Chain A
Amino acid sequence: MQILPDDQRDADAELLQRYANGDATAARLLTARLAPRLHGHALRVLGDRAEAEDVAQEAMLRLWRQAPDWRRGEAKVSTWLYRVVANLCTDRLRRRNTGAVSGGLDAVAEPADPTPGAAQKMQQAARADALQQALQSLPDRQRQAVVLRHIEGLTNPEIAEIFEVGIEAVESLTARGKRALAAQLLAQRDALGFEDDGF
């Protein structure tokens, strides 16, 4: 595992230590910092609200159980959690039938807000939904790598640590995933307001 230098101290690990020492406030802070990201990732990968909630809760449950034995300085808490979520998502995707997939607009994006600027928000929601639909067609690892890199904003080394693979493998996964996404979304560019964007 990667050893973190002192200047990259993991604030989540410090909170986890506080939780292990009986500090309930630390649990609330950790939940606020980490759970939305885990839930968001699971929702984009699985495309199903109920399953995404189960995965996020299970991942946090494993974190609480691990807290007394957490060894600081070995891995970031967030990286460890993303790995748990990625594996849980993979398990669920494997159990699914290969037929129907979920992942439409209702599964991810909230309804557009009917306020000034609503048209822009609707267009944004439509693009996000189109991306979500396209993501569901990617193989599991490609989908997770693209979401982690381009939506969650993780670095390639972080994703490599989550998947326990080399950085080159991550670059290959994201490149192939993006090519497949572009091939699908290209056909929808006019409907999604990209007439003048050169896409």
Chain B
Amino acid sequence: MTDFDTDGLEEFFAAARATPAPLPPDLQARILADAAALMPAAPLAWHRALWQLLGGAAGISGLVTATAVGVWLGVAPPAQLPDLAGQVVSGEIGLADSSEFETGALMSVYGWDMEES
């Protein structure tokens, strides 16, 4: 078979290209129905995404409750607990400066200088 013979096929290919089969409307409808059924939900706005990240209404209410209790304990602690916030505010105690600690003393405090038996 020569190239001349196969070259003649182009007329057939051209005829095939000129008579494309149309996409049946019901097939198009089925494809679009599949697309609708499988389409991922649109991404949320940032505030809704944050809301869901924190667990929604239940998560947010727990977070607010925990925060309020923490503030309450800091401002008005029960009698049996030291009032650390009040002492700091009044200047009775100050925040520790880490440079005041000697490394060796810290190691002893944490037990890092103990040798394993």
Contacts and interface: CB of A to CB of B under 8 A. Distances in A.
A130 interface: yes
B35 A19 contact: yes
Contacts, number: 130
B34 interface: yes
Interface in B11-43: 11-13, 15-24, 27-28, 30-32, 34-36, 38-43
A198 B20 CA distance: 26
Residue among A31, A49, A197 with the most chain B CB within 10 A?
Answer: A31
Interface residues of B, number: 33
A64 B39 contact: yes
Nearest to A147: B16
Given A182-B1, A197-B8, A124 B21 contact: no
14 contacts: A19-B35, A22-B39, A24-B39, A35-B23, A36-B23, A39-B24, A39-B27, A56-B31, A64-B38, A65-B38, A179-B1, A182-B1, A183-B5, A186-B8
Interface of B: 1, 5-6, 8-13, 15-24, 27-28, 30-32, 34-36, 38-43
